[in-house]
Amino acid sequence: MLARSADWQDSVTLLQHQPHNTFDHRLGTTLAACDTDSQALAVLVDIITEDPPSTHEYVVAARMFSHFTGTTL
C-alpha cells in the first residue's frame, strides 16, 4: 500500500519534526505509531470528516490522505 511508501514516510517524519506543541507534530507521532494502514487511514478520515475544510487540521490531514492514497481531496 502507498502508506508505507518513501513519500509517506518522509511526510510523517516531517510532521514529527514540527514543534512538539503543534497539531502537525501530534499527527505525525500518531501516524507513526499506527501498526496498520487501516489504523492510519482511520485517523485521517476522522479528522477529515470532523474538521471544517477551512481548518489547518483538515488541510494537513487531507494532504496526508493524498500521500496515503495517491489521490487528492
Provide the mean pLDDT of the chain: 91
pLDDT tens across 49-59, in order? 999 999 999 99
Domain limits, the chain: 2-69
pLDDT tens across 19-51, in order? 999 999 999 999 999 989 999 999 999 999 999
pLDDT over 70 (residue 8): yes
Whether the model pTM is above 0.75? yes
What is the rounded CA–CA span in Å between residue 51 and residue 61? 10
Q: What pLDDT shows up at residue 1?
A: 45
Q: Which residues of 40-67 are buried (b: 16+ CB within 10 A; e: fewer)?
A: bbebbeebbeebeeeeebbebbbebbbb
